[in-house]
Amino acid sequence: MFYIIGLGLADEKDVTVRGLEAIKKCSRVYLEAYTSILMVQKERLEAFYGKEVILADRDTVETQSDEILHKADIEDVCLLVVGDPFGATTHTDIILRARALKIPTRVIHNASIMNAVGASGLQLYNFGQTVSLVFFTETWKPDSFYDRIKENADLGLHTLVLLDIKVKEQSDENLARGRKIYEPPRYMSIPLAVSQLVEIESSRSTGILDAEKTLAIALSRVGGGDEHQRIVSGTLRELLDHPADAYGEPLHSLVIVGKRLHHLEVDYAQEFAINRDNWRAVAKDVYGCALD
Amino acid sequence: MFYIIGLGLADEKDVTVRGLEAIKKCSRVYLEAYTSILMVQKERLEAFYGKEVILADRDTVETQSDEILHKADIEDVCLLVVGDPFGATTHTDIILRARALKIPTRVIHNASIMNAVGASGLQLYNFGQTVSLVFFTETWKPDSFYDRIKENADLGLHTLVLLDIKVKEQSDENLARGRKIYEPPRYMSIPLAVSQLVEIESSRSTGILDAEKTLAIALSRVGGGDEHQRIVSGTLRELLDHPADAYGEPLHSLVIVGKRLHHLEVDYAQEFAINRDNWRAVAKDVYGCALD
C-alpha cells in the first residue's frame, strides 16, 4: 500500500492516530520537504516514529516518483506531507502514477491552512479562491494574483494569500554552472508581502488593496498553540508598519478581508488587532458593517 | 483550559495525537452532534478514549455554553467537533464566550470537507465560495445558493455544495405542542440534491446548472478508506439518474465543476466517472479542456 499522509500544521503530534499507525507499518517513510514546512526537524519526527525519515525534494516527488513507489505493491510505503495531501498539485501526480502502476493508495487527511484559516474568525463560507504570492525580483513581478483578489473582492469575498517559500533553490550562477549548491531557505514575511500587494495596487489603482481602507489578517503557525501561533489584524498600512518579528516564525499567510464582512467576524478578529479602534472604524465606515 | 478539538472526517482514529492527549486530560468531554456526523457512535469514541462522552445538541452549544465552560478555568474541558472546529459559526460563539469569561482556550485543528474535497482531484485553488443546500419543502425553496454558484461559475470556479442534515428536529405538530419528540435523522442524498439544483435551474434558466452540460462530483465519507469513501463524477443528469445507494453512506457533498477546469483535474476525476467517455467529451466540448 502507498500512503500519503497529512501531518497537519504544527509539529509531530498533529499527525492523526490513523496516520501514525500507518507510518509505523511502513518499510520506507518519505517526507515531502519543499512546498511547506513543519515547526520541527526531521530528527524529531524520527524519534517520534521510531524510524528513519527520508527527505524527498521536488525532483524526487515530481519526476522520480517511481523511487518512492518502488515495491509499494508488496510493502507499505508512505509519503508525509505537511498540512493535507491535496494542498499541492504534485500529490495528485504521484497518485496518478501509483494508479498506473496498479499500486493501492490511501490518503490520510489532516488540517491545512485552507481550512485552519478559520482561526482568524473569518467564516470559511465567505472565502473566494486562494492565491499565491511569489517573491518579486527587479525584473519579475508576476501580478496575476491581483486579478484573482479583485474577482473575490468584487463579490465581497475574503482571499487567502499563501506566501512564497524558497527551499533548496539554486542561485542563477550555481544553476548555470550546474552546481548543486543551494541557498538557505527563505520565507516571505508579512511586511514584504503587503509591500508587494501595495506596489501592484499603485500601478493598477482599482482601490481593492488601498492601504488605509483594506483590512487584512496575518497568520503564522496556526495550530501551534499560544506559544507559537500569531494572528494579527489591521489595515494593510498597519500591517506594513508593524515590526516583522511581531508576526512570529514562518510560515505566514495573509487574508484580504472582503466586504461581505459580518459583525461577528469583526468582533472575533478585533482580539488580534494592532489598533482595535481603527479596526472597528474601518469595518464600520469602509466595509459598512453594522457595529455599535 | 477549554479545548475545541476537531475529530476529522471518518472515525475515532482520525483525531490527532495532540487531540487525543488533550481528551485524556479532560474532566468533561462534550461531542457536538448536530452540524455533522462521524461514521461511528458515541460508544466507540468512549471506548477509544476510556471516558464518558456527553452529547451536546444545538441548544447546549449555542445558548447554554456556560454549562460546557463551567469550571474550565480550573479544569480541562473539551468540545469535540466533527471535521475542523471552524467549519460552523457556532464554535466562534463559544470561543468568544470563553474569552469573555477569561477561560484560556486552545483549538486543535483537523481535516474538514473544506480541504478534503481535494480528494476529488479538483485543485483547492480553483474553488470559489462554499454553499449549503437545504431540504426544500412544498412551500419553502430557498434558492440563494444559486446566486452564489453563479458567481463562482462566472469566474470559472468550482463550488463545494454542502448537503443539509436534519438531526434532532421536531415535527411541526410536536414543536407546536412543545413536545420534545424528535424525528429520525435525515441526510440529503445526491439525487435529491441534484434534483433541487435542476429545479431551480429550470426557473432561473441561466444555464449554469444545465443537466447535460454541467459536470459535478459527488463525495461521501471522504477519508474513510476504500471500504467507505465514495467519489462519483459525471454530468448532473448522470448523477441524477444514478442509483442513490451507489453514493455510499452519508454525509454527502457535491462539487459543481467550474469552467477553469484543468486537464489534469479531468484525468484524475475520470477514475470516478459514471461514464468516462461522456466525462471527457463534456470536459472537452463544453468546458474547452485541452484533451486528446
pLDDT exceeds 90 at position A167: no
Long-range Cβ pairs for the range A247-251 (8 Å, 24+): A247/A189, A247/A190, A247/A218, A247/A220, A248/A220, A248/A221, A249/A39, A249/A220, A249/A221, A250/A37, A250/A165, A250/A187, A250/A188, A250/A189, A250/A220, A251/A36, A251/A37, A251/A113, A251/A163, A251/A165, A251/A187, A251/A220, A251/A221
Q: What is the ipTM of this complex?
A: 0.93
Task: Report whether A113 belongs to an annotated binding site.
Answer: yes
pLDDT exceeds 80 at position B280: yes
Query: Rounded to 5 degrees, what angle do the CA atoms A219, A223, A224 make?
Result: 90
pLDDT exceeds 70 at position A35: no
Model pLDDT, residue B126? 94
For residue B158, the chain A residue with the least C-alpha distance is: A129
Report for A35-49, B33-47, B249-263: range of highest mean pLDDT: B249-263
The minimal CB distance from A129 to the residues B16, B89, B128 is found for: B128
Mean residue pLDDT across chain B: 92
Q: What is the mean pLDDT of residues B150-159?
A: 98
Whether residue A31 is preceded by a cis peptide bond, meaning omega within 30 degrees of 0, is: no
Model pLDDT, residue A172? 83
CB contact under 8 A, B87 and A124: yes
CA distance B268 to B40: 30
Residue, of A272 and A168, whose pLDDT is higher: A272
pTM, 2 dp: 0.94
Model pLDDT, residue A185? 83
pLDDT digits (tens, 9 = 90+) for B35-54: 666 667 889 999 999 999 99
Query: Rounded to 5 degrees, what angle do the CA atoms B97, B98, B104 make?
Result: 160
Least confident of A42-56, A163-177, B62-76, B265-279: A163-177
For chains A and B, what is the number of CB pairs under 8 angstroms? Answer: 157
Model pLDDT, residue A34? 67
pLDDT band of B260, cuts 50, 70, 90: very high
The minimal CB distance from A116 to the residues B15, B109, B123 is found for: B109
For residue A22, the chain B residue with the least C-alpha distance is: B13
CB contact under 8 A, B130 and A125: yes
Task: Report whether A9 belongs to an annotated binding site.
Answer: yes
Min Cα separation B202/chain A (Å) = 25
CB contact under 8 A, B121 and A92: yes
Could you give the percent of chain B with pLDDT greater than 90? 73
Q: φ and ψ at A21, to 5 degrees? A: -60, -40
Model pLDDT, residue A270? 95
pLDDT digits (tens, 9 = 90+) for A220-241: 999 888 888 999 999 999 999 9
Q: What is the mean pLDDT of residues B16-20?
A: 97
Model pLDDT, residue A57? 81
CB contact under 8 A, B223 and A130: no
Could you give the percent of chain A with pLDDT greater than 70? 97
pLDDT band of B33, cuts 50, 70, 90: confident
pLDDT exceeds 90 at position B154: yes
CB contact under 8 A, B130 and A109: no
Least confident of A187-191, A233-237, A288-292, B30-34: B30-34
pLDDT exceeds 80 at position A161: yes
Residue of B36, B81, B97, B110 best to disrupt the A interface, most CBs of A under 10 A: B110
pLDDT digits (tens, 9 = 90+) for B211-237: 999 999 999 999 888 888 999 999 999
Model pLDDT, residue A247? 94
Amino acid B146 reads: Y
Chain A residues with CB-CB distance to B93 below 8 A: 264
The minimal CB distance from B6 to the residues A92, A99, A111 is found for: A111
CB contact under 8 A, A127 and B129: yes
Whether residue A101 is preceded by a cis peptide bond, meaning omega within 30 degrees of 0, is: no
CB half-sphere exposure, B60, CA atoms < 13 A: 15
Binding residues of B for S-adenosyl-L-methionine: 9, 84, 87, 112-113, 163, 222, 252
Model pLDDT, residue B199? 97
CB contact under 8 A, A264 and B92: yes
Model pLDDT, residue B92? 85
Model pLDDT, residue B1? 95
CA distance B135 to B142: 9
Sheet strands (E) in B203-246: 215-220, 230-235
Chain B residues with CB-CB distance to A21 below 8 A: 13
Least confident of A56-70, A262-276, B129-143, B198-212: A56-70
CB contact under 8 A, A110 and B222: no
Residue of A23, A124, A133, A148 best to disrupt the B interface, most CBs of B under 10 A: A124
CB contact under 8 A, A268 and B92: yes
The minimal CB distance from B18 to the residues A13, A87, A132 is found for: A13
Least confident of A155-159, B42-46, B181-185, B191-195: B181-185
For residue A162, the chain B residue with the least C-alpha distance is: B125
CB contact under 8 A, A13 and B9: no
Q: What is the mean pLDDT of residues B257-262?
A: 96
End-to-end CA distance of chain B: give it in Å, rounded: 57
pLDDT exceeds 70 at position B88: no
pLDDT digits (tens, 9 = 90+) for A260-277: 999 999 999 999 999 999
Min Cα separation B184/chain A (Å) = 28
Least confident of A30-34, A143-147, B1-5, B21-25: A30-34
pLDDT exceeds 90 at position B22: yes
